[in-house]
Amino acid sequence: MQDPFLLFDEWILLEKQLSNSPISMVLATVGEDGRPAARAVLLKGYDQDGFVFYTNIQSRKARELAKTPYAALCFLWPAHEHQVRVEGPVSLISDEEADAYFASRPRERQLGAWASLQSQELPSRKVLQQKYKEYEKKFEGKEIPRPPHWSGYRITANSMEFWIGHKDRLNERILFVRDEAGEWQKKLLYP
């Protein structure tokens, strides 16, 4: 198999057969101080162009991505002893794509996006609840537009590595790297 996305599709299918939960991934960024930072986000779409997640674009991760627009993703699927690592450059998605996804979200999530100053200090939970109520009132009976501080990012894979656990513990690692022509090159790594 020369295309890592065919394998990724197969593995996603296996996870979806196990559970209806959304697919999450660990997103690692480079901190403003050059140190790594990691957190989970939801995978909201992927194709050959990259892996998309949505977030507050004033959050810590967004500030870090503005300074160093590269990220690493890690998908961990213990039931199948699978791990996928993805690395590559990151870009903001288009306003049209972000608008369309925001419009598809449940109303309470849309309000939550308005109410949360993600990653800033919150004096108390009450403050967040009040802000949520304020926006609920503001948008009562109206369509909720996408907040200017909320959008999505796309991580374009330069490399994808698949790890497969085996009973004899001679585990398997398959690394796909995109060459300069954009073609995927495949090799095995010692586990």
Ligand X SMILES: Cc1cc2nc3c(=O)[nH]c(=O)nc-3n(C[C@H](O)[C@H](O)[C@H](O)COP(=O)(O)O)c2cc1C
Residue located via tokens 């288009």: 94
* 110 is an interface residue for ligand X by CB under 6 A: no
Catalytic residue among 39, 60, 169, 173: 169
Among 37-45, 84-92, 106-114, 182-190, the segment contacting ligand X (CB under 6 A): 37-45
In the bound state with ligand X, the residue whose beta carbon lies nearer, of 25 and 157, is: 25
**Are the C-beta atoms of residues 71 and 85 closer than 8 Å to each other?**
no
Which structure tokens are listed for 139?
A: 């948008």
Q: Provide the 10 A C-beta neighbour count for residue 27.
A: 25
> What is the closest distance, in whole angstroms, from the C-beta atom of residue 48 to ligand X in the complex?
21
* 60 is an interface residue for ligand X by CB under 6 A: yes
Selected binder of ligand X within 7, 51, 57, 61 (CB under 6 A): 61
Site string for ligand X, 70-109 (x = CB under 6 A): ----------------------------------------
* 53 is an interface residue for ligand X by CB under 6 A: yes
Site string for ligand X, 112-141 (x = CB under 6 A): ------xx----------------------
> What is the closest distance, in whole angstroms, from the C-beta atom of residue 176 to ligand X in the complex?
25
> What is the closest distance, in whole angstroms, from the C-beta atom of residue 178 to ligand X in the complex?
25
169 is catalytic: yes
Among 2-10, 47-55, 83-91, 139-147, the segment contacting ligand X (CB under 6 A): 47-55
Helices 125-138 and 107-115 cross at an angle (nearest 10°) of 120
* Catalytic residue IDs: 169
Q: Which residues bind ligand X (CB under 6 A)?
A: 24, 37, 39-42, 53-55, 59-61, 118-119
